[in-house]
Every structure is written in structure tokens, then in C-alpha cells.
Amino acid sequence: MANKVIKIGGASGYWGDAALATPQLLATKDLDYIVYDYLAEITMSIMARARGADATKGYATDFVSATLKPNLKAIAEQGVKIISNAGGVNPQSCAEAARAVIKAQGLDLKVAVVLGDDLLEQKQALADTGITEMFSSAEFPPLDSVVSINAYLGAFPIAHALDQGADIVITGRCVDSAVTLGACIHEFGWKREDFDLLSQASLAGHLIECGTQVSGGNFTDWELAVDTLATAGYPIVEVQSNGDFICTKPKGSGGLVSVGTVAEQLVYEIGDAQCYQLPDVICDFSGVELSEESSDRILVTGAKGVGAPTAYKTCVTYADGFRGGRVISLFGKDADRKGEKLAENIFIRVREMLKENGLPDFTDTCTEMVGAEDYFGGDRRLTNVREVDVKIAVTHPSIKGIGVFLKESTGILLSSPPGVTGFAGARPKPSPVVRLFSMLVPKGDVNITVETDSTSDQCSDVISSGSQVSAKPLTQVPEIEAASFDKEDCVEVPLVKLAWGRSGDKGNKANIGIIARKAEFLPYIATAMNVDSVAKYFQHFLADSETAGCVERFYLPGINALNFMLHDVLGGGGMASLRNDPQGKGYAQILLDQPVRVHTAFAKENGLID
């Protein structure tokens, strides 16, 4: 057991990832597992609507048609086990479809299903408890608006399915990293109290859960990988029985795996790195260290675990009216001013038509001037530009209100300033607004079942009370050394010369991770990038930039990184937001443009200036 290593490939980062991932990973002929992550909050609501229209739907159908069907023979021949949360809100139907394909191909593969995350039928009982939103303390949404309710399950039910001899494990909603952790628990016999091991393998799952984002995609130094991204390698982790692992990719594939790419994915959407809560373990990633073993092979060590939560994070998606938007291009002199006036007049006309139809005003509006560097809603940095895209969007309680907006915003274009154009196509259509309500449900209130072809087992996820932790663990990190300038000559350089960055969303929160390229850069970065300066830079997005706690900063000394959490910054986030960047994906790139003051001699010594 001491020398045992298992190899796990990550073939899907979202519902819609490339079909080439599975055959590429199978071509290595050296994997024990391939894992797939298909789910996000908005995905769950889409699948719930699909199940409402057809009781046999509500899962990632392409997992069966595009992943399993063309590759089952190779999967069976190589003995690779498959773990996927493709079941969505209907894992049993997904399993039935998989079994039908297996039977049609005359193969002998055992399918198991993890059930219990779907709590939709308990919505009345949950509402009656008076449960509130875990971040905003909002009341439970109206019952008739609720689309889905799913607890984020952990990895031990997956391990149980593998223990029962499953070749393919299909789950509903579990945390993204659980598909990787479940394989490790099964292979190494880890227990529920092996928190450091569980944290290490959870980190392995976290790194590969977004597919090629860890192997060159979305990388700050994109030019190092961009010429080979068409053949980017899907990630592989080689996990040892002590939890340490190598992050790599198939030999000869495109992209790259480096300390920078792995560090960026490590900080992605984790919030407080000392208290990253998963169902099976509360992770402390602050001391994680990355080292290059060889080209495209990064050794990852140092994750710690501090107990396990007593409850599951559970997400409710619910309908809250409708939204609609359009993009209008303008060319020529003063295109930005033309766009402003056009948007103003569109809203004047549309609001008048709403009144004539007896409809209320919009519940929210958004205008963004893409091309005048007003994309993020802040102070415009360019004026008198010759080309802009005016993006206007609205939300309204009724689909009729959105219809009025879309019709009248089209009809006014013949009255617009000169230079209006756009890619031809059908008029945009209204779409439902889906909001997120997050809550905690005690583990004992969730009944988990693991079903195979012939068995059905209860799989309690509750561990001894002495091993559970429901509050933030008390771990210590050192103080960050501050840069001292005194009277020395200084120069400003853009942050991107000093750091890598990655950003993403957690509901209505944005997470921005900034990783120093060298340890000696960190004091300068930390001095320039404090809570106040980041809050000021993003103040046009923050609900109240003067409110204490609207921006938090966390320190990861192991990788010389800072992680910023911006609260209430995404206009509702996901399908509730009207922003062009509703998930904060571009926030790191914006922050990396900010100037950082460094000593002139230091800048010259490190090649930051000529």
C-alpha cells in the first residue's frame, strides 16, 4: 500500500466540455479512473426544467451519447472506471440510459447510482423550519417558484459504490472534487477521520475539476500555451497513498502544466484557503507547496484537514421573473457618445410603452459600453472611440415586459444616431431569471442510497461528533512582510509583471487569487493590494464599498498568494445577473493591470524595467 499510486484523468469541467477529452485520456492506456464534472447551480435549474417536461430527462444526455457510447469498448478493455455527476436531477434515468448502451454493445460493466441529494419534495418541510439563506439571511423563496433543491454530497457514497464492484458510478449533485476523492478513498482504504489525506485528494479533485484550466487554459501567461490549445491536454493526477500527487497531462498533448497553471487553479473559487468547506473535510490549503518534478509534472503537497462539517451546503434555485438583453454595435466618430444617447432613448421609449400596456417598471437595468473601457461599469478610460458595442439588459416580473423591451429596442434603431450595425439574426428572446438560495441542512436529515444493478444500500454520511467541526478552524498563518519604501527611488510596474491571477464566482461573490511569481515579489504586492485598495478599484460593483467586510483578503504562504473575496459584487450572479461578466471571470485580468510600487533597483535587478 505504501507505494501504491493511482492515476485519475479529468475529462469534463462543465456540461458542454469537448468530446475529445475521453478518447485523448484513454489513448494514454495508463489510467485507473476518468472523472467528469458536469454540474453548476444554473445547470441544475436547466435540468430540473427538462425533467419537468419529460420525466426521463434531467441529466447530461451527452455523457451517455458522446462519452460512453463511442468509448465503452476501450473503457472495458482497459478496465478504466468512470465516475461522473452527470446524473443531475435524474441520476436513475441516466443510469438506465447507460445500461442500455452497455447492453447494446454486449459489454459486462456494472453501473451504480448515488441518490439522496435531491430534496425538492421536501421543500414545504424545509420552508416550515424557518431556514434562512446562509449568506444574506433572506427568507426561503416562495414555494411555487422553487425549481430545484440539492444537497452537495461528498465522496464516501461514491467509494461505497466502487466497493460494491461498480465500473461506472453516476451521481446527482455532489461537490465537484468528490468524484476524485471517492476513487482515492476506495483504493487506499482511507477513513472518515483521515482528514489530511481527504484534504490532499480533495485538492487533486479541485485541480482537475475544470478540465484544461489547469493545463494552460485561462492562464495569465497565455502566450506560453496558446499555439497548442487546440490540442490541450486534459489533466491527470497521479495520487499516492500518502495523499501527495503529481499533476500532469498526456504526453504530446498541447497546453502546459506548470507551477503557475496549477497555482491559478488552486486559488480558483476557494475563498478562505484555511477554511474551504467540503462535505467530507474542512480543508486548509494555505500551506500547500508546488514544485516542478519535470516538464509538465508538478508535485503537490501540504494540504491539511480540520474535521468535517455537520451539515450539507444545499442550493435552491428559484424563478424570479424574466430577463432580456441585446448588443448593438456603433461605428464612427464619437461612437461612445452615440451609444450613451441611444441607450438613454431606448429606456425612455420602452418605459413609456410599459405604462401604455399597464406594466410596472423594470426591476433592474444594465448598460455597458464595451470598447470604451466602460465594460466593467467604472470610470471610462477611453473617450471619442470609433467603435463600441452597447450592451443593454433588463429584468422584469413578466415575460410580456421583456417582450416590450426587445420589440421597442429594435424599433428605435431607425431613429438612432448614425453608425448602428450588428450581426444579423433573429430578435433575442426573453429568458427566465434563476436565483440561488444557499442553506445548510443537517447531514442526519439527508438519506443517501447507493443502487447497483442488483442492490440498494443505505450510506449514512454522518461521522462521530468528536470529529465534526462547524466553525472556522483556528489555524495560524504568518504575517505578510510589508514593503518599506522610506526615501528610496521607486517605480510603478503593472501587477501582471509580479503575479499570476485567476478569478471566478461563488454565487454573488467574486474570488480573485493573486500569486506572486517570486516569493520576494509578495511584500510589494501585499502592500499595494490590500482590502481598501481592491475595494476602491471595484467600488462600482460593490453594494456598499464603505461597509466593513465587503472585501476580505486571505494569505496562502505556501504558494506566496493572496486571495480576495468580494461580497455582493456580481449583480446577483449567474442567471440572475445582467452583467456581461456575471461570474467574475475577468476580474483577475482587470486587477493585474493595476500599478504596484517597487524599488527601482529591485525592479531593474528582476527585469521588471529596462
- Whether residue 572 contacts residue 583, with contact meaning beta carbons closer than 8 Å, is answered with no
pLDDT, residue 49, reads 87
Using alpha carbons only, what angle is made at residue 430 by residues 424 and 436, rounded to the nearest 5 degrees? 130
| Domain end among 291, 308, 325 | 308
Same-domain check for residues 291 and 340? no
**Is 473 among the domain residues?**
no
At 165-195, the pLDDT tens digits run 999 999 999 999 999 999 999 999 999 999 9
Q: Residue 244: CB partners within 8 Å, gap ≥ 6?
A: 200, 299, 300, 301
Sign, Cα dihedral of 352, 356, 357, 358? positive
Q: What is the CATH number of the domain that holds 351?
A: 3.30.70
Q: Examine the fold and report which residue of 282, 308, 334 is the final residue of a domain before the chain moves on.
A: 308
The alpha-helical segments, DSSP class H, found in 54-109 are 61-62, 69-78, 91-104
Asked if residue 580 belongs to a domain, the reply is: yes
CA-wise closest residue to 434 among 98, 131, 48 = 48
User: How many Cα atoms are found within 13 Å in the side-chain-facing hemisphere of 257?
Assistant: 32
| Final residue of a structural domain among 257, 285, 308 | 308
**Which segment of 42-46, 298-302, 321-325, 486-490 scores lowest on mean pLDDT?**
486-490
**Residue 471 belongs to a domain:** no
Q: 204: closest CA among 80, 309, 290, 315?
A: 290
Residues 330 and 257 in one domain: no
What is the spatial distance between Cα 350 and Cα 367, in angstroms, rounded to a whole number?
Answer: 14
Residue 604 grid coordinates: 531593474
Q: Is the predicted pLDDT of residue 57 greater than 70, yes or no? A: yes
On whether residue 478 sits in a domain, the answer given is no
Q: What angle do CA 420, 426, 427 make, to 5 degrees?
A: 70
pLDDT tens per residue across span 356-393: 999 999 999 999 888 876 544 445 456 678 899 999 99
Confidence of residue 508 (pLDDT cuts 50, 70, 90): confident
| 598: in domain | yes
Nearest to 513 by CA among 273, 255, 177, 210: 273
- Tell me what pLDDT residue 469 has: 55
User: Are 285 and 339 found together in one domain?
Assistant: no
Q: How deeply is 72 buried, as exposed, middle or buried, from its count of CB atoms within 10 A (0-12, 13-18, 19+)?
A: buried
Q: Does the residue 586 lie in any domain?
A: yes
Residue 55 lies in a domain: yes
At residue 428, the 3 state secondary structure works out as coil
Q: What is the pLDDT of residues 535-556, one digit of tens each?
A: 888 887 776 545 545 899 999 9
- Name the nearest CA neighbour of 207 among 288, 114, 308: 288
* pLDDT at residue 60 greater than cutoff 90: yes
Provide mean pLDDT across the span 25-32. 97
Whether residues 291 and 346 share a domain: the answer is no
Is residue 549 domain-shared with residue 510, that is, in the same domain?
Answer: yes
Alpha helices (H) in 212-334, listed in sequence order: 259-267
How far apart (Å, rounded) are the C-alpha atoms in residues 285 and 383?
44
- State the total domains in the chain: 3
Residue 280 DSSP label: S
Q: pTM for this one?
A: 0.93
pLDDT digits (tens, 9 = 90+) for 192-235: 999 999 999 999 999 999 999 999 999 999 999 888 988 999 99
Running DSSP on this structure, what letter comes out for residue 279?
S
- Which residue segment(s) compose the domain that 247 sits in? 5-117+152-308
Work out the average pLDDT over 99-119. 97
Look up residue 238 and give its DSSP letter: E
What average pLDDT does this structure show over 226-247? Answer: 95
| Per-residue pLDDT, 460 | 81
- Residues 347 and 120: their CA atoms lie apart, in Å, by 39
* 186 secondary structure, DSSP code: H
In a domain, 448, yes or no: no
Q: What is the pLDDT of residue 375?
A: 44
With a CB cutoff of 8 Å and minimum separation 6, the contacts of 43 are 14, 15, 88
Is the same domain home to 299 and 351? no
User: What band does 467 get if pLDDT is binned at 50, 70 and 90?
Assistant: low
- Say if residue 280 is in the same domain as residue 386: no
Q: Is 335 in the same domain as 304?
A: no
- Mean pLDDT (the chain, rounded): 91
Q: Do 364 and 505 have their domain in common?
A: no
Q: What is the DSSP letter of 233?
A: P
* Cβ atoms 205, 181 nearer than 8 A: yes
What string of DSSP letters covers 10-58? EEESSTT--TTHHHHHHTT---SEEEE----HHHHHHHHHHHHH-TT--
Q: β-strands 168-171, 81-84: how paired?
A: parallel
pLDDT band at 510 (very low <50, low <70, confident <90, very high): very high
Rounded to an integer, the average pLDDT of 318-335 is 93
In one letter, which amino acid is 132?
T
pLDDT (0 to 100) of residue 2: 60
Q: Give the whole-angstrom CA distance, residue 27 versus residue 13.
A: 19
Q: Are residues 320 and 302 in the same domain?
A: no
385 and 512 share a domain?
no
Instruction: Give the CA radius of gyration of the chain.
Output: 25
**Shared-domain flag, residues 269 and 324:** no
pLDDT tens-digit series, residues 424-443: 677 889 999 989 999 999 99
